Amino acid sequence: MAKFKEEATQLLQYIGGKENISAVSHCVTRMRFVLTDPGKADIKKIEGLKTVKGTFTQAGQFQVVIGNEVTTYYNDFIDVAGIEGVSKDAVKTAAKSNQNMIQKVMTNLAEIFAPLIPAIIVGGLILGFRNIIGEIAFFENGTKTLVQVSQFWAGIYSFLWLIGEAVFHFLPVAIVWSITKKMGTTQSLGIVLGITLVSPQLLNAYGVATTAAADIPRWDFGFFQVEMIGYQAQVLPAILAGFTLVYLEKFFRKICPAVISMIVVPFLSLVLSVIVAHGILGPIGWTIGSWISDVVNAGLTSNLNGLFAAVFGFLYAPLVITGLHHMSNAIDLQLIADFGGTTLWPMIALSNIAQGSAVLGMIFLQKKDARAKEISIPACISCYLGVTEPAMFGVNLKYVFPFIAGMIGSALAAVLSVGSGVMANAIGVGGLPGILSIQPKYMVVFAVSMLIAIVVPFVITVVVGKKRKVC
């Protein structure tokens, strides 16, 4: 007998029946539904099912948190429902019909950066480790770093830059590849286009500011010239170039006879994309990206930076719910490229910690509730390691006051972080390990900010929870 047959039958009923399901799939821990009429889902009854650990709606998908047995649960559900599941990509495509224009843009942006996050995190951790061994003077009365006293660690320090440089300096290659993958066009052309943006033949993007205009190399075509500038670590030029390639390839595939398409389509798509990228869109993207990073940096360094930090720290968690937080990845990477670090990302790490600490408060309050701890303990751990969704959707939003407590703690911690000028060298893991990405001179004050993000939400959650007799 199917293990979850009875509960799957109930879920089907509470979700509005077979006719209310446009598409269904699952991920590591959650069932993912696209519902014809989301209003028909009885959330209270669904969350009352024994195996269900919570529900939430994100990016047009109604998601039911099951846990590690989701695969078995999913198989029993589609058997009971008499429907065929589809891939996660198909569910995402179906879900977009429930999204407005802003949500669709944010979803597309998220899907571009999602495959890059593991590499970016690795790069951030590596740069953070290099900070510790190469910039913090632990030895000889605080005058020398580990790299300065050990040839082995000096070699490690130098070797690790190979990976760090590959992740961040050559980021445009990964971005253009991801765009072509998402849009279903030729990925190898995307890789080639990305490489042309960071080719060693070009003046490195980091060297442009210190190079006189007359000394910038140019391609001379007689009646016009194009500057030979690279776009290392630049985000917007890569995005614009990537979509140019995608739409050119789709255009030429439509108009080109199949018999010659294998030759003509890649040639015209790639060559024209490279010309447009370097001659038009690259400079435009660089300028727009610089404007955005300048505005954000001005807010973070102005006399009103405390207010900016408080607002951002307070609202970041709600932004995660809407999906708008994915824009921060592009802004962070642009800040790093333009200013050698980002003051924005430390606030994101603190927000994650604060939401995890609110869950920790709920664990304390519900220490005798075994079922509640099945959800809250893993959620707290994942939140402290930078993954906030299980904590927010599975625990904090369910009771509301822990979510607000996390927002308050995040805002207070952000004020101290930004007010002290805390800057990260790179994007890393967004929870407790995030301190590894902080520039060494700011690690102590960031540790204090982390303490605020831990203590304040925990205390508020416990105090309010006891008044509300949550146990």
Instruction: Read off the pTM.
Output: 0.68
Domain boundary among 292, 321, 337: 292
Domain of residue 426: give its range: 300-467
- Alpha-carbon distance of 260 to 258, in angstroms, equals 6
Specify the CATH number for the domain of residue 55: 3.30.1360.60
* 332 and 447 share one domain: yes
Residue 449 lies in a domain: yes
Q: How far is CA 427 from CA 125, 181, 290, 340, in A?
A: 8, 23, 18, 12
Residue 108 lies in a domain: no
* 66 and 133 share one domain: no
Domain boundary among 263, 292, 321: 292
* 310 and 266 share one domain: no
Residue 110 lies in a domain: no
* 282 and 143 share one domain: yes
* 50 and 173 share one domain: no
Alpha-carbon dihedral sign for residues 224, 190, 87, 323: negative
Give the per-residue pLDDT at 351: 92
pLDDT in tens, the chain (471 residues): 568 888 989 999 999 998 888 888 887 677 888 888 888 999 889 888 888 877 877 767 888 888 767 888 988 898 888 876 554 555 555 555 555 666 666 666 767 877 887 787 788 778 778 878 887 778 888 788 899 999 999 999 999 999 988 888 898 999 999 999 988 899 999 999 999 999 999 998 878 877 888 888 999 888 888 889 999 888 889 999 999 999 999 999 999 998 888 999 999 999 999 999 999 998 998 888 888 778 877 888 888 888 989 998 898 888 776 555 666 777 777 788 788 788 888 998 999 999 999 999 999 998 888 878 877 888 888 788 877 767 887 788 888 899 999 999 999 999 999 999 999 887 766 788 888 888 888 999 999 999 999 999 999 999 999 988 776
* 248 and 314 share one domain: no
Residue 104 lies in a domain: no
Residue 109 lies in a domain: no
Into how many domains does the chain fold? Answer: 3
Give backbone dihedrals phi and psi of 402, rounded to 5 degrees, phi first: -65, -35
Residue 111 lies in a domain: no
Residue 152 lies in a domain: yes
* 205 and 340 share one domain: no
Residue 387 lies in a domain: yes
Give the per-residue pLDDT at 106: 62
**Is residue 309 a contact partner of residue 414, using CB atoms and an 8 Å limit?**
yes
Q: What positions carry a catalytic annotation?
A: 27
Domain boundary among 73, 99, 125: 99
* 169 and 272 share one domain: yes
Residue identified by tokens 């802004």 is: 331
* 214 and 277 share one domain: yes
* 87 and 11 share one domain: yes
* 326 and 365 share one domain: yes
Q: Which 3-state string (H, E, C) describes the chain?
A: CCCCHHHHHHHHHHCCCHHHEEEEEECCCEEEEEECCHHHCCHHHHHCCCCCCEEEEECCEEEEECCCCHHHHHHHHHHHHCCCCCCHHHHHHHHHHHCCHHHHHHHHHHHHHHHHHHHHHHHHHHHHHHHHHHHCCCECCCCECHHHHCHHHHHHHHHHHHHHHHHHCCHHHHHHHHHHHHHCCCHHHHHHHHHHHCCCCCECHHHCCCCCHHHCCEEECCCCEEECECCCCCCHHHHHHHHHHHHHHHHHHHHCCHHHHHHHHHHHHHHHHHHHHHHHHHHHHHHHHHHHHHHHHHHHHCCCHHHHHHHHHHHHHHHHHHCHHHHHHHHHHHHHHHHCCECHHHHHHHHHHHHHHHHHHHHHHCCCCHHHHHHHHHHHHHHHCCCCHHHHHHHHHHHCHHHHHHHHHHHHHHHHHHHCCCCECCCCCCCHHHHHHECHHHHHHHHHHHHHHHHHHHHHHHHHHHHCCCC
* 208 and 249 share one domain: yes
- Other beta carbons within 10 angstroms of residue 267's beta carbon come to 12
**Is residue 229 a contact partner of residue 203, using CB atoms and an 8 Å limit?**
yes
